[in-house]
Amino acid sequence: MLRVCSITLVAMITSAASAWAQGAGDANLAEAAKKEGRVVVYSTTDAASANPLLKDFAALYPGITVDYTDMNSTEVYSRFIAEVAAGTGTADVVWSAAMDLQLKLAADGNAAIYASSEIPSLPKWAVWENKAYGTTYEPITFVYNKRLVPPSDVPQDHAALLTLLTTKPDAYRGKITAYDPEKSVGYLFDNEDIKYFPQAWDLFRAFGKVGARLYPAAGIMMERVTSGEHTIAYGVFGSYALARSKKVPNLGIIMPKDYTLVMSRVAFVSAKAKNPNAARLFLDYLLSKRGQNVIANAADLYSLRDDVTGEATVAGVRALIGDKARPVAIDRELLANLDASKRLEFIKKWQAAMKGQ
């Protein structure tokens, strides 16, 4: 009897606690958020892409101003931790594409525990301990110059790319470009490649042998491909590529058919948020069907909800590559990418590969 009682008591307390952690009804949240009046967001999503979201959010919740600052991932991280340490005002929501850094921040106790009301509609891999949330579903693609790469050469998957580079090294000497893992999110992607592609290191060595050029950002990779200075770019965010291809017709995009990595921009509500309710509201919005719709169809990003339609959605990706999408899971494994000695080892191996060894 006592056992049953205690179990029931525990269950009650647990559910009460979780109910408490949950947005206690969206209406109340919106009320409280309006009272706060603003939400400060640090983000790596550029202002132009975020603009449709901000406008829509403002339309939905007119009383809440979004203070949106876009920076690169290092700046977001540095600024956030310094401000938290100083105890001054900082972001209420941190939204960054650097998945590993975001998870570290969340795991270090910077993220508030909040069970968003949208959780049921989100894929399992996108929610971590109700602290950090994936908000997009961006495939990592190959991008190529349609005018300069003959259709027979266009690699449809990783193996084909490897074959291309080993059989036609001269045609592609100096024409390949990829992320520099030392300076960018490329590190994460390359390590995921190693998981799914047994010949990943052969591929990297092939890059080295044809003198691939490495860059820290996708933007410049695409620019060089569209100008023809390079012809194939490896590992470009599908979202950027899609947006660019609408303006530049000679930009081709391939989602590799053997597997396509999918990354997600991670957002969390800061534990020290000065506007906690507005922050939660904003996060909910990002994850909501309405917000995700904007993300897919106006913001040039990809949506991760099944119930959103459009090209830049889970369904859209599935239509192209079936079940070959491999989302990067938002879990503690990401932290392995921040291990200093592992990184140094990888970099050493990578640098050797870049010399063709």
Partner 1 sequence: MTVESPAGAVPTLRVAIPFTFYRFVVIAVTAAVVLAPLSLVFYQSFLDAPFFQPAARLSLYAYRFVFADEDFWVAFGTTLLLASGMTLIAVPLGAGLAFLMVRTDVPGRNWLEPIILIPIFVSAVVLAFGYVVALGPVGILTTSMRELIGVAPWNLYSFPFLVAIAGLTHVPHVYLYAAAALRGLGSDVEEAARTAGAKPWRVALDVSLPMVLPAILFAAVLVFFLGFELFGLPLVLGDPQGVLVLSTYLFKLTNKLGVPSYQLMAVVVVAIVAITAPLVFVQRLLLREAQRYVSVRGKGVRLAALRLGAWRWAAFAAIALWFVFSVVLPLAGITLRSFVETWGEGIALSEVLTLDHYRELLDYPNVVRSMINTLGIGVIGGAAAVVFYTAIALAVHRWPSQWTRIIDYLVMLPRAMPGLVAGLALLWVFLFFKPITPLRQTLVSVWLAYTVVWLAYGMRLVSGTLLQVAPELEEAGRTTGASETRVKFDVTLPLIRAGMLASWLLIFLIFVREYSTGIYLLGPGTEVIGSLVISLWGTGAIDLVSALSVVNVGMIGIGLLIAIRLGVRLHG
Binding site for partner 1 (CB under 8 A): 46-49, 51, 54, 67-72, 74-75, 77-79, 81-83, 85-86, 88-89, 100-101, 104, 145, 147-148, 182-184, 213-223, 226-229, 240, 244, 247-248, 250, 337-340, 343-344, 347
- Supply the minimum distance, in Å, between the C-beta of residue 295 and partner 1: 15
Q: How far is the CB of 220 from partner 1 (least distance, A)?
A: 6
Pairing of strands 266-269, 93-96: antiparallel
Q: Quote the least distance from Cβ 334 to partner 1, whole Å.
A: 11
Q: What is the DSSP code (8-state) at residue 111? A: B
Sign of CA dihedral 311, 51, 96, 223: positive
Label residues 83-117 b or e (16+ Cβ within 10 Å = b).
bbeeeeebbbbbbbbbbbbbbbbbbeebbbebbbb
What φ, ψ does residue 177 adopt, rounded to 5°? Answer: -135, 145
CB of 344 to partner 1, least distance (A): 8
How many Å apart are CA 326 and CA 305, to the nearest integer? 15
Of the two residues 22 and 72, which places its CB atom closer to partner 1 in the complex? 72
Of the candidates 157, 260, 152, 173, the residue with the CA atom closest to the CA atom of residue 165: 173
Least Cβ distance, residue 178 to partner 1 (angstroms): 12
Query: Between 33 and 214, whose beta carbon lies closer to partner 1?
Result: 214
State how far the Cα of 178 lies from the Cα of 119, in Å rounded to an integer.
35
Say if CB 284 and CB 117 are below 8 A apart.
yes
Rounded CA separation 100/171 (Å):
36
Smallest distance from partner 1 to CB 89, Å: 8
Q: In the complex with partner 1, which residue's Cβ is closer, 56 or 100? A: 100
State the nearest-atom distance from the C-beta of 244 to partner 1, in Å: 7
The nearer residue to partner 1, 29 or 91, going by C-beta atoms, is 91
Q: At what angle do helices 276-287 and 289-297 cross, to 10 degrees?
A: 60
User: CB of 6: closest distance to partner 1 in angstroms?
Assistant: 39
When the beta carbons of 103 and 122 are compared against partner 1, the nearer one is 103
Strand intervals (E) in the chain: 38-43, 65-70, 93-96, 127-128, 132-134, 138-145, 176-179, 213-215, 232-237, 251-254, 260-263, 266-269, 325-327
| CA distances (Å), origin 223, targets 97, 185, 299 | 20, 18, 20
244 vs 280, which CB is nearer to partner 1? 244
Among the listed residues 109, 99, 111, the one whose alpha carbon sits nearest the alpha carbon of residue 136: 99
236 phi/psi in degrees, rounded to 5: -90, 140
Residue with Cβ nearer partner 1 (59 or 340): 340
Nearer to partner 1, 289 or 332 (CB): 332
Of 34 and 38, the one with the shorter C-beta distance to partner 1 is: 38
According to DSSP, the β-strands at 266-269 and 213-215 are unpaired
Shortest separation between residue 2's beta carbon and partner 1, angstroms: 44
